[in-house]
Amino acid sequence: MNPDKSLFSEEQKDILQEIMNIAFGNATADLADVIDVYVELSVPDIELLGAGELPGYIVKNLQTYSQTVIINQRFLGDFKGSGFFVFPNGAGHDLAAILEDSNPQCCEAIPAVSLEKEIIMEIGNILIGACVGKISELLNTSVIYSPPQAIYEKSVEFNRFLKSFDPANTVIAMKTVFRFQQKDIKGFILVITDYESIEWLKDALDKFMESYQ
Amino acid sequence: MVMIHRILIVDDSPVARKMLKSCVPKDREYEIQEAGNGVEGVEKYKEFSPDITFLDLTMPVMDGYKTIPEIRKINPEAIIIVITADIQPKSIAEVISLGAFTLLKKPARKESIQDAIEQAELKINNTVKQI
């Protein structure tokens, strides 16, 4: 199904883009409290997609990266959907090194492979949580989260994940590309809202802007 | 006493510019001009000679980090208030080292914008006294 592009006005899309920008900026500041990394941000990209187009959109965005791991976290409430932290597989090793540099005692007892996975899961959890949390706060609502789940590209779970979207629905994809400057690692955060949230979201965006009239 | 009247807002987001404009105090007439990226911002700065410039960091074409030195080449005393979502300690330190007057966190709030304008006026007046 083709998405109904008129679902959102240009201004509503601009508001959403700015809110995503603010939310991701806050998320990186939260991350800087935990691990000594500097994150370069990009201008967020907002797209209205048919849910059937989503697997193609995700695969297309993954082409820039050799092998990826996706941390996926569902959020539920008025604002409902999924957050995805997409990161090169193996980059956990570099992040583990940064974490060990800044806090040598932190990781002594943890085997290297588990540590890398735990770090990516934790960073994904922090960034998705802070990002979605800030969007919710700005739109005067709150959400609850499912535990984060790691999905490796080209795995059975990845294919199952791509097939899990109902093609009849329209989704909003909000993407921000980032780069961890010290290690030159690029990845992106994708927040996808469920179809049921769209009417609520339009109303919430209008109310957000009304406070600035 | 010198008062601020001319404000330049440089931000790629039309919504962010609108939000910021709505936060500018209504107690006097301000002349406000806008630009959508750093290159346009520098051009506007030359034409308009604003008293203060509100500048975003994350922008296409030319970002805020590159824009600050360009504006300061035109006017080394330029008052540049960075307003950004990027509040990482390193970003804050970098914009201040580049010569920004202060950094405000997005979203814009009336109180912080008003306070920044007042602080900028104090700075301008202190500079005038020293001259």
Judge if ipTM > 0.95: no
Q: Which residue has the higher pLDDT, A178 or B72?
A: B72
What is the arithmetic mean of pLDDT over B81-94? 93
Report the C-alpha dihedral over residues A118, A124, A125, A128, rounded to 10 degrees: 180
Q: Are A167 and A57 in contact (CB under 8 A)?
A: no
Q: Is residue B84 pLDDT above 60, yes or no?
A: yes
pLDDT in the model for residue A6:
74
- pLDDT < 70 positions in chain A: 1-5, 64-66, 99, 102-113
Cα distances from B106 to residues B19, B84, B126, in angstroms, run 10, 5, 28
pLDDT in the model for residue A106:
59
Q: Which two tokens stand for residue A76?
A: 């539920």
- CA nearest A11 in B: which residue? B15
Q: Are A193 and A49 in contact (CB under 8 A)?
A: no
pLDDT in the model for residue A48:
86
Write down the pTM of the prediction: 0.86
Measured between CB atoms, does A39 come within 8 Å of chain B? yes
Fold that domain A5-89+126-210 belongs to in CATH = Chemotaxis protein chec (3.40.1550)
Residues of chain B that touch chain A, judged by Cβ-Cβ distance less than 8 Å: 12-16, 18-19, 22-23, 58-60, 84-91, 106-107
- Measured between beta carbons, which residues in chain B are less than 8 angstroms from residue A210? none
A156, with CB counted inside 10 A (0-12, 13-18, 19+), is exposed
What is the arithmetic mean of pLDDT over B1-24? 93
Across the interface, which of B13, B15, B87 has its CB nearest the CB of A25? B87
pLDDT in the model for residue B124:
86
Lowest model confidence (mean pLDDT) among A92-101, A151-160, B49-58, B112-121: A92-101
Q: Where are the domains of chain A?
A: 5-89+126-210
pLDDT in the model for residue A204:
95
A128 contacts: CB under 8 Å, gap ≥ 6:
A27, A71, A73, A83, A84, A85, A145, A148, A189, A191
- CA nearest A213 in B: which residue? B22
Please state the φ and ψ torsions of residue B116, each to the nearest 5 degrees. -65, -40
Q: Which domains does chain B have, with CATH numbers?
A: 6-130 (3.40.50.2300)
Q: What letter represents residue A202's amino acid?
A: K
Across the interface, which of A38, A209, A212 has its CB nearest the CB of B90? A38
